[in-house]
């Protein structure tokens, strides 16, 4: 394998390691001294499969689209160990005593992570004196050890109300999320268990707890803070008008109903000691196959809840096609709680996710915009996406459904999009909606890549129920989807992000998507109200 930094299939706008193996995002924080987002990740630099020694790799970005790579940031204590998943906080007030005045408050960076070996998992602290590029290890590690081999993935944050640091981590194989608190980041006091909630699977991993703003109106474009934000964290903290709920995030693996790895969440309240879920429901953070170990960024301006996930699945993540690096992250998403109607009889809050796509570094090579198109079954509408596709696309589709025009229940009443390869159009992604199922589908199986047909865990077809977005003036339901396709990854956002679906797919080398076909199995049922596609590349 060559040591090229831009393999043909490397996603353009998603974080990938320059070489080696990557899994969970770790230590995410925003440095407001330099307006930089830092992202660390589980990293095995000299191999494209996981194993010990396992490190934290490090990348940074100002725009969340282009990343600078900084190699290894944190090391395990020996060759048989792993610096497993964990988080970073900014210790502005030097509660830890790790810093002196020479370190700017916004760069008093403390990492809390799991030191893993075959005989133990305990929590370690490390701190950085140079803005997160390298770390010193706390001399009295571990900071938390309960004599367990399955005790990991601390997510730490500052809890304003009780003026304590809070740690949530997984006592993985007892299905407990444990909450600890601390005044100094080094001595931790047990507070409570959040036990046996949601889908259990084999084990709990990578929990998170976040204070998520409630937004009552429909989503507008989120600005990317640090680039064009005028508000600052202090102004926001003093605002009283923002309602919040606490959201507990939980990863399980294996054990997803769709196979392998899965991220779920619970909505509730947190008083500094105990998280209390508002109901007994578990909800999916993403409905796709490839979205795991989601973690939020610390210290984001405006208290926005931004986070990122590992865009893969332990069922096959080690086996996906790769040359010199393996796996990528999702795009960074902004989370809010908004009311929605899963069906006509219920209104409740759900987490909305909106991807942060910063267009300043993206060049649009070709764009298509269509409105008012009534589909019939005889005709396929085709659009070319230009001569030189680079594999990065964004699209959005809003469509209206006239179910009364369906004449036979024998028909497959779909609206389908076929995103076809430019070099070989027998390779395509098919996605769309079918009104009898009232669900959206994605089929990633139409490809010549052997891995896709040969790997029994890599199932091709993924589906997702979708609620009505709004009602048109003529009384008919309207639905909406936005998608970002980046070489071998597709992220779908339904109805402004009330649900999402993130999935890997694989086409033959350099067969990037060059056209899209729209068709329907029925006549006069679907009206495309608005369809946009942009074919983009990095500037």
How far apart (Å, rounded) are the C-alpha atoms in residues 193 and 181?
12
CB of 284 to ligand FRU, least distance (A): 17
Q: Are 105 and 136 in contact (CB under 8 A)?
A: no
Backbone angles phi, psi at 234, to 5 degrees: -65, -45
Residues contributing to the site for ligand FRU (CB under 6 A): 23-24, 42, 54, 84-85, 114, 152-153, 205-206, 293
State which residue, 202 or 359, has the beta carbon closest to ligand FRU.
202
Q: Are 472 and 380 in contact (CB under 8 A)?
A: no
CB of 168 to ligand FRU, least distance (A): 13
CB of 152 to ligand FRU, least distance (A): 5
Q: Are 189 and 144 in contact (CB under 8 A)?
A: no
Sign of the alpha-carbon dihedral angle for 71, 77, 80, 82? negative
| Six-digit token string for 65 | 């689209």
State which residue, 171 or 513, has the beta carbon closest to ligand FRU.
171
- Owner of token pair 């497959």: 412
How far apart (Å, rounded) are the C-alpha atoms in residues 165 and 162?
9
State which residue, 250 or 293, has the beta carbon closest to ligand FRU.
293
Backbone angles phi, psi at 28, to 5 degrees: -70, 125
Rg (CA), the chain: 23
State which residue, 286 or 434, has the beta carbon closest to ligand FRU.
286
State which residue, 204 or 246, has the beta carbon closest to ligand FRU.
204
Q: Are 114 and 84 in contact (CB under 8 A)?
A: yes
CB of 509 to ligand FRU, least distance (A): 28
State which residue, 94 or 117, has the beta carbon closest to ligand FRU.
117
Helix (H) or strand (E) holding 210: strand 204-213
Q: Are 322 and 296 in contact (CB under 8 A)?
A: no
Instruction: Establish whether 68 is a catalytic residue.
Output: no
State which residue, 205 or 290, has the beta carbon closest to ligand FRU.
205
- Set 24, 91, 299, 315: catalytic member: 24
Helix (H) or strand (E) holding 518: strand 513-520
Question: What string of H, E and C letters represents the secondary structure of 119-186?
Answer: CEEEEEEEEECCCCCCCEECCCCCCECCCCCCEEEEEEEEECCCCEEEEEEEEHHHCEEEEEEECCCC
CB of 150 to ligand FRU, least distance (A): 9
Backbone angles phi, psi at 147, to 5 degrees: 60, 45
Helix (H) or strand (E) holding 373: strand 362-374
Do strands 477-486 and 244-252 pair parallel, antiparallel, or not at all (unpaired)? Answer: unpaired
Sign of the alpha-carbon dihedral angle for 355, 359, 363, 365? positive
How far apart (Å, rounded) are the C-alpha atoms in residues 433 and 238?
44
State which residue, 179 or 393, has the beta carbon closest to ligand FRU.
179
| Six-digit token string for 476 | 């008919």
| Six-digit token string for 224 | 């990317």
CA-CA-CA-CA dihedral for 97, 103, 108, 112, to nearest 10: -70
Sign of the alpha-carbon dihedral angle for 502, 504, 510, 511? negative
Q: Are 12 and 488 in contact (CB under 8 A)?
A: no
Strand, helix or coil for residue 350 = strand
State which residue, 42 or 95, has the beta carbon closest to ligand FRU.
42
Q: Which of 286, 289, 295 is nearest to 264 (CA)?
A: 286
State which residue, 23 or 192, has the beta carbon closest to ligand FRU.
23
- Owner of token pair 């395990």: 76
- Which residues are tagged catalytic? 24
């Amino acid at each position: 394998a060559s040591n090229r930094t831009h393999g043909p299939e490397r996603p353009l706008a998603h974080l990938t390691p320059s070489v080696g193996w990557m899994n969970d995002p770790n230590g995410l924080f925003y440095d407001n001294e330099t307006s930089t987002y830092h992202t660390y990740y589980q990293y095995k630099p000299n191999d494209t499969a996981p194993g010990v020694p396992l490190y934290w790799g490090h990348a940074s970005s100002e725009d969340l689209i282009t990343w600078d790579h900084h190699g290894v940031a944190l090391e395990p204590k020996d060759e048989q160990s792993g610096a497993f998943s964990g988080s970073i906080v900014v210790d502005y007030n030097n509660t830890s005593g790790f810093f002196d005045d020479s370190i700017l408050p916004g760069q008093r960076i403390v990492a809390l992570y799991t030191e893993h070996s075959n005989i133990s998992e305990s929590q370690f602290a490390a701190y950085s004196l140079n803005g997160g590029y390298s770390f010193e290890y706390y001399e009295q590690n571990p900071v938390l050890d309960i004599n367990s081999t399955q005790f990991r993935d601390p997510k730490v944050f500052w809890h304003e109300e009780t003026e304590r640091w809070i740690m949530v981590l997984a006592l993985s194989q007892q299905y407990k999320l444990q909450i600890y608190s601390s005044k100094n980041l080094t001595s931790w006091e047990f507070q409570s268990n959040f036990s046996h909630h949601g889908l259990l699977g084999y084990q709990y991993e990578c929990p998170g707890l976040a204070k998520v703003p409630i937004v009552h109106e429909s989503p507008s474009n989120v600005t990317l803070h640090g680039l064009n934000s005028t508000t600052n964290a202090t102004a926001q903290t003093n605002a009283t008008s923002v309602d919040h709920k606490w959201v507990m995030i939980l990863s399980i693996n294996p054990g997803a109903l769709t196979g392998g790895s899965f991220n779920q969440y619970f909505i509730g309240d947190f008083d500094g000691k105990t998280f209390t879920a508002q109901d007994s429901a578990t909800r999916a953070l993403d409905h796709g196959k490839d979205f795991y170990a989601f973690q939020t960024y610390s210290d984001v301006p405006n208290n926005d809840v931004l986070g990122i996930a590992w865009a893969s699945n332990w069922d096959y993540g080690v086996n996906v096609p790769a040359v010199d690096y393996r796996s990528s992250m999702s795009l960074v998403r902004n989370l809010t709680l908004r009311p929605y109607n899963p069906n006509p009889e219920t209104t409740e809050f759900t987490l909305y996710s909106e991807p942060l796509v910063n267009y300043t570094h993206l060049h649009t090579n070709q764009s298509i915009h269509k409105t008012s198109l009534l589909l019939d079954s005889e005709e396929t509408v085709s659009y070319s996406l230009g001569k030189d596709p680079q594999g990065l696309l964004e699209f959005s589709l809003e469509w209206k459904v006239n179910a009364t025009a369906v004449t036979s229940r024998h028909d497959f009443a779909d609206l389908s999009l076929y995103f076809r390869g430019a070099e070989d159009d027998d390779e395509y992604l098919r996605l769309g909606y079918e009104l009898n199922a009232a669900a959206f589908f994605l089929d990633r199986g139409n490809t010549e890549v052997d891995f896709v047909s040969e790997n029994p865990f890599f199932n091709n077809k993924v589906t997702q129920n979708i609620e009505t977005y709004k009602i048109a003036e003529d009384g008919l339901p309207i639905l909406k989807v936005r998608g970002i396709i980046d070489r071998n990854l597709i992220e779908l956002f339904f109805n402004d992000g009330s649900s999402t679906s993130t999935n890997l797919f694989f086409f033959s080398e350099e067969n990037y998507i060059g056209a899209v076909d729209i068709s329907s199995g029925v006549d006069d049922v679907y009206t495309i109200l608005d369809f946009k596609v942009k074919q983009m590349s990095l500037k």
